[in-house]
């Protein structure tokens, strides 16, 4: 698909952002839950090159009409022209746009319009490519080879173990891990990629100034430090059920392969797999017991032609990507949290909850050091669901 004849330039945005950062006094929260008054409507008018607030306005009005909006961008239309054609309701007020610019600056976030330098090439050719992406973190992470790992929010211990192992090994090999920041498999994949020293990308179904679920705000911050948190929705937009299928097409679109670890019969992960199949992207599914509800979706994917994932090397082979050799000799020293967990397990095996109580720590904080120990061959989860020390 051809590029725009006139590429939107971002050079003026950076200078403006620095000035905004010096002048900004409001917090980063930008809410668009209240519609702007009729006298505050943004009126498109002829100007020079599009500015950041033009793209903010286009994101506000065009996120739910990506096919139509991006087709107009492909045709070389200016965002102000597009706004005049697609806007049927209220447009953001000048006051909202100013606050949004300040919020982006305070978060260190950037906008990537379709056709601009840095817009993910994997997404650019989608018929419903997002007209504008908001990125918190490193936009460069979006152009690197990536694999999506998705699955059940109410994941089993088996599913979490598989997600951590696969994500950790992919990240250690330099592959970016993409997921949706949800509870369960998504969070396990993000955490494991970070614990392995790799990069991960979280795709949200809400504005960039929000985090859903809210309990993952700290995780989102850690992801943005080395990878990226992205969304096609305007600042202040709250997550809605209808937004998640839209989000899922970006998870698959950013990736060279999609791994579904666990999925019930009606799972959002299956939507991601369908998007991947439509986009010509390899789909892997982790096999599971035929009588386990969490595995119905994966087993049906396998029946319908998805590739079985029996080892991370299956994904490496599909990507023609060199796997990280399994270390047998010199290993890096364990972190302090990992040593504390290993000492506790040497006294007696423990489940996640029991181990958290024993160490007086939140269960969620144990995932990274447990993955570290598991990859080092120091611990393993037994058939009873408890962690056992191996060394």
Q: What spatial distance separates the first Cα and last Cα of the chain, rounded to whole Å?
A: 55
Predicted confidence band of residue 268 (pLDDT cuts 50, 70, 90): confident
Fold: same for 141-319 and 336-389: no
Closest Cα partner for 142 from 172, 124, 122, 162?
A: 122
Listed in sequence order, the residues at least 6 apart from 43 whose beta carbon sits closer than 8 Å to its beta carbon are: none
CA dist., res. 342 & res. 232, Å (int): 42
Question: Which pair of structure tokens corresponds to residue 92?
Answer: 């953001």
Q: Answer whether 149's CB lies under 8 Å from 165's CB.
A: no
> Could you tell me which CATH class the domain 141-319 is placed in?
alpha beta
- Domains of the chain, by residue range, sit at 11-108, 141-319, 336-389
**pLDDT of the residue at 364:** 81
Mean pLDDT of 91-111: 88
Closest Cα partner for 99 from 235, 210, 208?
A: 235
| Ramachandran category for residue 118: left, alpha or beta (phi over 0 → left; psi -120 to 50 → alpha) | left
Evaluated on CA atoms 64, 67, 68, 72, the torsion sign reads positive
Which pTM does this prediction carry? 0.73
Evaluated on CA atoms 123, 124, 129, 134, the torsion sign reads positive
Which has the higher per-residue pLDDT, 45 or 256?
256
Predicted confidence band of residue 38 (pLDDT cuts 50, 70, 90): very low
**pLDDT of the residue at 323:** 77
Question: Which pair of structure tokens corresponds to residue 75?
Answer: 């045709």
In the predicted structure, residue 18 carries a pLDDT above the cut 80? no
In the predicted structure, residue 14 carries a pLDDT above the cut 70? no
Which has the higher per-residue pLDDT, 21 or 74?
74
> From 3.20.20.70, 1.10.260.40, 1.10.10.10, 3.40.50.2300, which CATH number describes the 336-389 domain?
1.10.10.10
Q: Are strands 379-381 and 387-389 parallel, antiparallel or unpaired?
A: antiparallel
Closest Cα partner for 359 from 336, 341, 339?
A: 341
Q: Answer whether 148's CB lies under 8 Å from 180's CB.
A: no
| 60-74, 182-196, 371-385: the lowest-pLDDT one | 371-385
C-alpha Rg value of the chain to the nearest Å = 22
- In the DSSP assignment, the letter for residue 46 is -
**pLDDT of the residue at 373:** 83
In the predicted structure, residue 259 carries a pLDDT above the cut 90? yes
Mapped onto helix, strand or coil, the DSSP state of residue 115 is: coil
Mapped onto helix, strand or coil, the DSSP state of residue 95 is: helix
- In the DSSP assignment, the letter for residue 350 is B
Residues of the chain above pLDDT 70, percent: 84
CA dist., res. 106 & res. 123, Å (int): 27
Q: Are strands 200-203 and 146-150 parallel, antiparallel or unpaired?
A: unpaired
In the predicted structure, residue 33 carries a pLDDT above the cut 50? no
**pLDDT of the residue at 331:** 56
Mapped onto helix, strand or coil, the DSSP state of residue 37 is: coil
Which has the higher per-residue pLDDT, 20 or 337?
337
Closest Cα partner for 338 from 367, 381, 380?
A: 367
For 225-246, what is each residue's pLDDT tens digit? 999 999 999 998 999 999 999 9
């Amino acid at each position: 698909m051809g590029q725009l004849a006139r590429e939107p330039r971002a050079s003026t945005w950076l200078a403006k952002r620095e000035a905004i950062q010096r002048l900004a006094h409001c917090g980063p929260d930008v809410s668009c839950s209240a519609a702007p008054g009729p006298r505050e409507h943004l009126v498109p008018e002829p100007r020079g090159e599009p500015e950041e607030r033009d793209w903010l306005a286009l994101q506000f009005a065009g996120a739910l009409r990506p096919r139509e909006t991006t087709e107009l961008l492909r045709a070389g239309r200016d965002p102000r022209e597009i706004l005049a054609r697609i806007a049927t309701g209220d447009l953001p007020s000048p006051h909202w746009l100013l606050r949004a610019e300040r919020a982006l600056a305070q978060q260190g976030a950037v906008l990537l319009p379709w056709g601009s330098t840095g817009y993910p090439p994997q997404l650019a050719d989608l018929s419903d490519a997002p007209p504008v992406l908001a990125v918190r973190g490193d936009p460069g992470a979006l152009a690197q080879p990536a694999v999506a790992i998705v699955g059940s929010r109410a994941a089993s211990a088996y599913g979490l173990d598989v997600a951590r192992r696969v994500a950790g090994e992919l990240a250690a090999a330099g592959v970016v891990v993409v997921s949706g920041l949800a509870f369960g498999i998504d969070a396990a994949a993000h955490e494991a990629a970070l614990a392995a020293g790799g990069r991960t990308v979280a795709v949200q179904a809400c504005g960039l100034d929000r985090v859903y679920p809210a309990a993952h705000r700290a995780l989102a911050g850690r992801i943005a430090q080395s990878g990226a948190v992205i969304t096609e929705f305007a600042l202040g937009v709250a997550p809605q059920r209808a937004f998640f299928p839209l989000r899922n097409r970006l998870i698959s679109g950013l990736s060279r392969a999609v791994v579904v670890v666990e999925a019930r019969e009606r799972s959002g992960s299956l939507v991601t797999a369908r998007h991947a199949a439509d986009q010509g992207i390899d789909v892997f599914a982790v096999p599971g017991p035929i009588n386990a509800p969490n595995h119905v979706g994966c087993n049906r994917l396998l029946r319908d032609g998805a590739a079985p994932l029996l080892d991370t090397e299956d994904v490496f082979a599909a990507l023609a990507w060199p796997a990280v050799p399994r270390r047998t000799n010199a290993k890096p020293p364990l972190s302090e949290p990992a040593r504390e967990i290993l000492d506790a397990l040497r006294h007696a095996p423990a489940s996640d909850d029991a181990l958290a109580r024993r160490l007086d720590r939140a269960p969620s904080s144990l995932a990274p050091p447990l993955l570290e120990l598991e990859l080092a061959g120091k611990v393993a989860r037994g058939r009873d669901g408890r962690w056992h020390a191996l060394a």
